[in-house]
Amino acid sequence: MRSPTTSTRDRWLQALDRWRHQPDGPASERSWAPSLERCSREELRAIQDEKLRLAVDYMYEHSGLFRSRCVAVGVEPGDVRGVEDLGRLPITTKADMSDDLERTPPWGRFTAVDEARWSSGGGQLFQTSGTTAQPRVFRYTRFDLRMWSWLARRATHAMGVRPGDVAIICFGYGPHVSMWALHYAFQDLAIPVIATGGMSTAARAAAIVRERPTVLCATPSYVLHLAEAVRAMGIDPADCGVRRVIVGGEPMPAATRSRIRLGWGGELHQTYGCTEAAPACCAYTCSDGMHVMEDALLLETVDPIDLRPVGPGRPGLTVITNLSSEASPQIRFLAGDFATLESAPCPCGRTHVRLRDGVTGRADDMLLVRGLTVFPTAIAEVLHGVAELSDAFEILLTKRGELDEMTIACEPLEEPADAAARAALATRVTNAVRDACELRPTVELRPLGSLDRTEFKARRVRDLR
């Protein structure tokens, strides 16, 4: 029975602490918290049911946006008994949050932290990148930071990071969540961190060569760019001692994964999450696949058109319910990444569902060209499969009358020997894109190094239509 003196917030945080198993160190060599990561599906569902009920109570009381959306569909907290009732709750989108922010600046009503809580228990302020919508600010608490560190330690342990490793983090040290969870986890694991915020790419490459870190963390596109910078020093990146590359922030097609592995010569691992609802690790890779951290969140995949669940084995857009946060336990937030859930057992022994092939694209990145759907990741898959090209490219969309035109700018690693060789390379790329995407682009070969590189999320598309 609930104590009349125990607040909704207290009940929520007490439950999160109760289910934070093995918070200070791994219980086994293969698993940080085996009682959670290898529990039965029935045990996992019981954890999720309890957390979801409390999360709905908590957000209904403390998030004005969530409460208003529940009222609009006629749902009250007592209506949600567990995961089987999840579909009764409304999906919240980035547009919903942006609209709420415009009405109630500067923080909006989409989180559960007010001024009093922020001033007494605040931890760190973050904001979304603004690549797909108006940047939204999230005030995460000290409790959240402890949860992040615990979740990220579990993820990095699954990736094989151990005491004795040295990590270099090449994300920008700013108000974005990409690298902070890893930073906290490494420090708690006693893994030395080389923090490179504000350093140039050349300085970061020199630090890798000089310090020989064993773990490299960055976006996929920037990992490839760093490999170029190391090669420009006359050194093979595979000789630099990096044993594990951890990436996040961008979808990563198979050809890109192959380039990273061949370039650095180590294991490739990936994290997935979002500032709004999963700033630590929504999903992470073990040696055999990409697991969803299901005791800490619920991940659904829904149809892009009607937002109805599609279930395991079919691609859909990701919807995240955070079951591990004080400030932002968002319920059914449309993260909007394309993924396919699968429940087949994993050789590592973890029982949580996996993302087949990771995250394959973003709905916000989807391009409609001449009536066909094209993803930048599909273009990357083609270009990164052409050995003569660098890792950088740009897609330019324009109009010729009423007809869409797509131009792809890319860089040969070596200038073609003559005009005929140059034309042959451009034709080969054109045909490869046409075969993969059913569109015939104009291919422009640019000088090596002329296209932009960035440590943040790569912006591959300029749409001038």
Q: Which residue has the tokens 């040696």?
A: 287
Q: How far apart are CA 2 and CA 18, in angstroms?
A: 16
pLDDT digits 0-9 by tens, 224-283: 999 999 999 999 999 999 999 999 888 888 889 999 999 999 999 999 999 999 888 899
pLDDT digits 0-9 by tens, 92-102: 999 999 999 99
Assess if CATH 3.30.300.30 describes domain 367-463: yes
Identify which of 223, 206, 207, 289 has the alpha carbon closest to the alpha carbon of residue 258.
Answer: 223
DSSP class per residue in 148-196: HHHHHHHHHHHTT--BTB-EEE-S--SS-STTHHHHHHHHHTT--EEE-
Average pLDDT on 155-159 reads 95
Can you give the pLDDT at residue 1? 43
Ramachandran assignment for 336, one of left (phi > 0), alpha (psi -120 to 50 degrees), beta (any other): left
CA atoms within 13 A on the CB side of 81: 1
pLDDT digits 0-9 by tens, 202-232: 999 999 999 999 999 998 889 999 999 999 9
Q: What average pLDDT is seen over the chain?
A: 91
Range with the largest mean pLDDT of 32-46, 134-148, 396-410: 32-46
Q: pLDDT band for position 361 (50/70/90)? A: confident
- Global confidence as pTM: 0.84
CATH number attached to the domain at 1-364: 3.40.50.12780
Identify which of 413, 429, 325 has the alpha carbon closest to the alpha carbon of residue 381.
Answer: 429
What tokens appear for 48 in the block?
A: 């999720």
H or E element in which residue 76 lies: none
Delimiting residues of CATH 3.30.300.30 domain(s) in the chain: 367-463
Average pLDDT on 318-343 reads 95
Say how many residues make up the chain.
Answer: 465
pLDDT digits 0-9 by tens, 20-30: 999 999 999 88
Task: Assign 322 to helix, strand or coil.
Answer: strand
Delimiting residues of CATH 3.40.50.12780 domain(s) in the chain: 1-364
- Is residue 15 predicted with pLDDT exceeding 80? yes
- Is residue 2 predicted with pLDDT exceeding 70? no
